[in-house]
Structure 1
Amino acid sequence: MKESLEELEQFAIDVILNRRKGFRAGAIRLLLSLMSILYRNLVSLRLWLYRIRIKREHNLGCLVVSIGNLTVGGTGKTPIVEKFAKALTAGGRRVAILSRGYKSVKPSLKKRIKSKLQGNPISQEPPRVVSDGNEVFLDSETAGDEPYMLATNLDGVAIVVDKDRVKAGLHAIKEFDVDTLLLDDGLQYLRLRHRLDIVLIDRYSPFGNEKLLPRGTLREPPKNLKRASYIFITKCDGSSNENLIKRIKKYNRTAEIIECAHEPKYLQNIDTNERLSLDHLKGKDIGTISGIAVPESFENGIKKLGAKIELTRRYTDHHRYRRREVQKFIDECLNRDLDMIVTTEKDYVRFPEIEAKEDMPVYFLRVEIGILSNEETFEDCINRICRPRPISSAKRFF
């Protein structure tokens, strides 16, 4: 069942990105295009309802910073959320990260029925606390891979998961006395009033395939960049982004633009936790395995570090690995006499326990965000959050 769903998901992605040809794929794209027209109108209607206060934002009495994007996945959001959380904590803020916990395991049907019979409506079930800032309580399957990864890398930052981020925020304020909420993937979450909107744009695919869901990968039209306070262009390589910046400024002339890169830092053995410098990749024949939105970005980064990718295995984003899948890939790499296997940190947290083999070590590549331009603007952003000034929210949606 799981494999069938993933095959269907991959088929849909291939159709949307025009990788599938033929009459059937063309007919599906036509249908999706018609649905996108309806979707565009619904997005506009929703924003309008918030603007005229028919739908209301919740103000939780603390500072809320949204970090999100216009497209579905692939902008490299998690390392930026981590960077903001560390900087804000260092600046004296008491921070909690609120996440939807995408593809995390929901409470079992049996547990939900039992809760209801006890008189506890499902909507009143408490959010899942991944970490209180000192201890990690959940595994990656229950928490979701990104919240779990953040929890293992952040000290002093609470991580709370719930589809209802208002409920999660209230819980974080009550239980952990936080004064700052980072809304992970929160640009479209309008129920919670945002003080700042940080929007990420992938340098190589800034607006996806330029089409709205479900025909494309855009959640909102590019013109809605006007809501952004700061815009981060991710995955930069040092070359000019002049044309992209010009286009961004067509939609938002006032937002500060920061160029950044996902910088590899080291390799870490998933069995022994041994860390190796990146020099160990030079000239090595390796295998890569990943289940992320844009595997090409990860693989190209590995090649730039001097490794030769002789075997690669790609799965859909947030794929939950089975032991036999990983063991089979390890055996294939052994048969090819490769030097090592490299995966992403986000994939590593989804790996099952595997039988370690000394002659085929598995490493994850640790990646952090580096600011390439406007470092002072990032510092100003942090200072603006740490020492907030009164603002009017009246024109937020205009």
Structure 2
Amino acid sequence: MAISRFRKTLSQIGEFAVDVFYDRRRGKRAFALGLFLYGLSLIFGFLARLRFFLYKKRILKDQPLGCLVVVVGNLTVGGTGKTPVVEKFARSLQQRGRRVAILSRGYKSKNITKESRLQKLWRTFVTGEDPPPPKIVSDGEAVLLDSEFAGDEPFMLARNLPGVIVLVDKDRVKSGTYAIKRFGCDTLVLDDGFQYLPLKGRLNLLLVDKSNPFGNQHLMPRGILREPVRHLKRASYVFLTKSDGVPDPELEALIQKHNPGVDVIECAHKPQFLQEVNGEKRLPLDELLKKRVGAFSGIAVPESFECFLHDFGANLIYTKRFLDHHRFDTEELHEIFKEAAAANLDFIVTTEKDAVRIPEDTDFPLPLYFLRLEIEILRGVNDFDAAVSKICFPDEGRRTFAVKSS
């Protein structure tokens, strides 16, 4: 019980800090923490600028791998809906005949081989042994790791993209080299790679959450920015995600100010169906209408997930939020179902990303489903196709780009 209370206290502190991070809290404590975080953000900003300067002046150098590299990422921390875009882009490339590998760092994934930092230093500087190979989440034929060792997003991508290689390693140069040599890949897609400067992309696809583009405009940890807004200029294409289809001239003007003439592709995350967690049953979305529904999630922006359920007519009786990438234990799941049963719910819904973190042998007293989302291009379909063509048919892509630039 003492351990459980301690974990709960830590979780509450973390939630409070995240709320300050997103400017969702007010009061003296929030102001004091915000001031402290602002000081840290100045240090972070200096280090970020120094890093970009070193790469720009070629003091630190990127390493070309001799194949096409596509970078998908964002200027902000979490919540832009990156995984469905990576999935759509990788699938489009595969359908056009490319041999695709997705390279991820596997945020919060466990290591297969346990190597301490001291052992790593000894291996690197004393024995000179080669580092362990990247984790193979999918070899294109089968999913080889679960979400605990793969990470949430890589596991989802591997499960949804048969035929696509998915590798996890913090060193994307190493995993890219491995993908080329071991699997004969000719196209590398860097998942969340906009800040990964050692491997330069032919195309940089930058995702911007239209509902909350840049937060409070502060750098981490006072705000959600990983790098300044002016770095929009590094994008080859800008994807406005989570769009409601309503024009936003102010945001578009800001994008064009920093990156004149850049193609903007507007897209929405469209719910498709409800899929039973650890099962085969699938429900149409109209099953949500007027049902007593519970929802829990551990994602960066839970509000958007809960809004989807409201939009399809669910009577959302019970909600539970956890920190992003939270891994549920048996006690927490038991508590969720206990509270849900007391609320007399028809069923519970979570996100696909959360569903992969639920152990397969978990017994569900109530039906549990995840909401399947897919990307729908609202504006810029031709630009999306042009981006795919630019990779699959480089000569054709260069001609198109040259005509457009003129």
TM-score (norm 2): 0.91
Paired position in structure 2 for 1:160? 167
Give the AA of the match of 2:362.
I
> 1:28 Cα deviation (Å)?
2.7
**How high is the sequence identity, in percent, across the aligned residues?**
50
| Structure 2 CA distance for aligned equivalents of residues 300 and 120 of structure 1 | 55
1:366 equivalent in structure 2: 372
Match of 2:261 among 251, 254, 273: 254
1:37 offset after TM fit, Å?
A: 2.1
Contact between 1:327 and 1:354, CA under 8 Å: does it hold in 2? no
Unaligned runs of 5+ in 2: 1-5, 399-406
Q: 1:312 aligns with which of 288, 304, 319?
A: 319
Work out whether residues 327 and 355 of structure 1, in 8 Å CA contact, stay in contact via their aligned partners in 2: no
| 1:98 corresponds to 2:106 | no
Task: Tell me by how many angstroms 1:31 deviates.
Answer: 2.4
Q: 2:46 aligns with which of 41, 45, 56?
A: 41
Q: 1:117 to 1:184 in 2, by over 3 A?
A: closer
Correspondence for 1:336: 343
The aligned residue for residue 306 of structure 2 is 299
Partner of 1:129: 136
> Secondary structure of 2:383's match?
helix
Alignment correspondent of 1:81: 86
* Aligned residue type for 2:162: D
What whole-Å deviation, never above 9, does each CA across 1:189-236 have from its counterpart, x for those lacking one?
000021110000001100122111121110011100000000000011
Distance 2:159 2:236 in 1: 29
Q: Tell me which amino acid in the other structure corresponds to 1:182.
A: V
Name stretches of at least 5 consecutive residues in structure 1 with no aligned partner. Answer: 392-398
Aligned to 1:396: none
Look up the SS of the partner of 2:224 in the other structure. Answer: coil
**Partners of 1:117 and 1:79 in 2: CA distance:** 38
Aligned partner of residue 226 in structure 1, secondary structure: helix
Residue range with higher mean Cα deviation, 265-274 or 95-104: 265-274
Shift of 1:121: 6.3
Cα distance in 2 between the residues matched to 1:29 and 1:110: 36
Question: Which deviates further from its counterpart, 22-31 or 139-148?
Answer: 22-31
Change in CA separation of 1:30 and 1:114 when aligned onto 2, cut-off 3 Å: closer
Aligned counterparts of 2:261 and 2:269: Cα–Cα separation in 1:
25
Partner of 1:381: 387
* Residue number in structure 1 paired with 2:363: 355
CA contact (8 A) 1:271 1:356 kept: no
Task: Quote how far apart the aligned CAs of 1:19 are.
Answer: 3.6
Distance 2:123 2:51 in 1: 35
**Inter-partner Cα distance in structure 1 for 2:73 and 2:176:** 17
Q: What is the deviation of 1:33?
A: 1.6
Please tell me the residue identity of whatever aligns with 1:176.
F
Inter-partner Cα distance in structure 1 for 2:106 and 2:306: 26
- In the TM superposition, 1:113-192 aligns within 5 A as 124-192=131-199
- How far is the alpha carbon of 1:126 from its aligned partner? 1.1
Task: Show the 5 A alignment for 1:237-248.
Answer: 237-248=244-255
Cα pair distance change 1:384/1:108, threshold 3 Å: closer
Distance 2:367 2:335 in 1: 14
State the Cα distance separating 1:22 from its structure 2 match. 4.1
Cα offset for 1:372? 0.4
Look up the equivalent residue of 2:259 and give its one-letter code. N
Q: Distance in 2 between matches of 1:173 and 1:3?
A: 45
Q: Is the 8 A contact 2:156 2:353 kept in 1?
A: yes
Contact 2:22-2:215 within 8 A present in 1 as well: no
CA distance in 1, matches of 2:394, 2:56: 24
Pairwise CA distance, 1:42: 1.9
Segment of structure 1 superposing worse, 245-254 or 285-294: 245-254
| Gap change, CA 1:241 and 1:117, over 3 Å in 2 | closer
Q: Shift of residue 5 of structure 1? A: 4.8
How far is 1:82 from its partner?
0.2
Q: Distance in 1 between matches of 2:332 and 2:84?
A: 27
